[in-house]
Amino acid sequence: MTAILIDGKAIAQDLRANIAKAAADLSQQHGIVPGLAVVLVGADPASEVYVRSKSKAVIDAGMRSFDHKLPDTTSQADLIALIGRLNADKDVHGILVQLPLPDHIDSSVVLNTIDPGKDVDGFHPVNAGRLATGQRALVPCTPYACVLLAKRVHGSLAGLNAVVIGRSNIVGKPLAQLLLAENATVTIAHSKTRDLPGVCRRADLLFAAVGRPEMVRGDWIAPGATVIDVGINRVPGDAGKTKLVGDVAFAEAREIAGAITPVPGGVGPMTIACVILNTLRAACAGAGLPEPQV
């Protein structure tokens, strides 16, 4: 059996169109144009690419984008002062500080100064706590993307065995919480997990978020399982070029899985869509409005 390809690019386009419609309604009915401030410190080329695509997605959705590009010599105090101004700015509904930050800046200290109501990355401990306790929260965009993709395949995730490989604060832990909120039975696997292939073979839903190229092999996957690959790894390709691969050995996995995300074109485009979705959600929550339906 060859797996169904989960077309993250097409699904994200569809979601972005719905977000644009909801943003237009918000503007017409309440005079609110959602705005996202993206802060980039330094000139990491990968970060510059991400930041550009986020800003473009925001503008394409009819929202406002406020870009702040700071030199890598920026002090932690100056960065925190900028966040303070963005927290107070009525036109800014979402704030995203692109990671990684330069070594002389403590990311946790900086991220904890973002107003939790504007924290579109969902990294603030208040949002992590809200997610864990089932309250309305801004949730991290990559895990959010993963769950939306899994729901596209299954509708309901209730009762499914979900295995998440990776326990980072950005992906693994919040993904496990989101899956629990969807009533899945959740296992978090990591580098110390015994018999990782055996644990993975029990998964109806397998999420790979370890950052190790093609670590998950075809024979780790239960026949018919849904595989969501969060990895984006640059490896040597043909003719001295590089190529992007996921954390899953795609060619093997697609012969066994029931559905699988490609890399690129799977989780990545959906993550960008979730950044603008969170900006819309933050704008609605900030105005005391209900969750937008998109």
- Please report whether residue 121 would count as binding ligand GUN according to CB under 6 A: yes
211 or 213: whose CB is closer to ligand GUN?
A: 211
- Count Cβ atoms below 10 Å from residue 43 Cβ, excluding itself: 10
With CB under 6 A as the contact rule, the residue among 33, 80, 99, 199 that binds ligand GUN is 99
The token pair at 279 is: 């900006």
- Distance between CA 13 and CA 279 in Å, rounded? 17
- Please report whether residue 247 would count as binding ligand GUN according to CB under 6 A: no
Q: What residues does 185 pair with on adjacent strands?
A: 161
- Please report whether residue 263 would count as binding ligand GUN according to CB under 6 A: no
- The closest alpha carbon to 189, from 174, 177, 173, 170, belongs to 173
- Count Cβ atoms below 10 Å from residue 260 Cβ, excluding itself: 27
| Contact window for ligand GUN (CB under 6 A) among 93-101, 173-181, 210-218, 242-250 | 93-101
- The secondary structure element, H or E, covering residue 64 is strand 64-70
- Distance between CA 197 and CA 140 in Å, rounded? 27
Pairing of strands 242-245, 233-236: antiparallel
The token pair at 135 is: 């309250």
- Please report whether residue 157 would count as binding ligand GUN according to CB under 6 A: no
With CB under 6 A as the contact rule, the residue among 74, 113, 142, 177 that binds ligand GUN is 142
Q: Supply the minimum distance, in Å, between the C-beta of residue 170 and ligand GUN.
A: 6
- x/- track of binding to ligand GUN for residues 40-79 (CB under 6 A): ----------------------------------------
- Please report whether residue 170 would count as binding ligand GUN according to CB under 6 A: yes
Cα–Cα–Cα angle for 213, 265, 144, rounded to 5 degrees = 85
Residue in the shown chain whose Cβ atom is closest to ligand GUN: 99
Report the catalytic residues. 54, 98, 121
Q: Supply the minimum distance, in Å, between the C-beta of residue 54 and ligand GUN.
A: 9
Binding site for ligand GUN (CB under 6 A): 96-99, 121, 141-142, 170
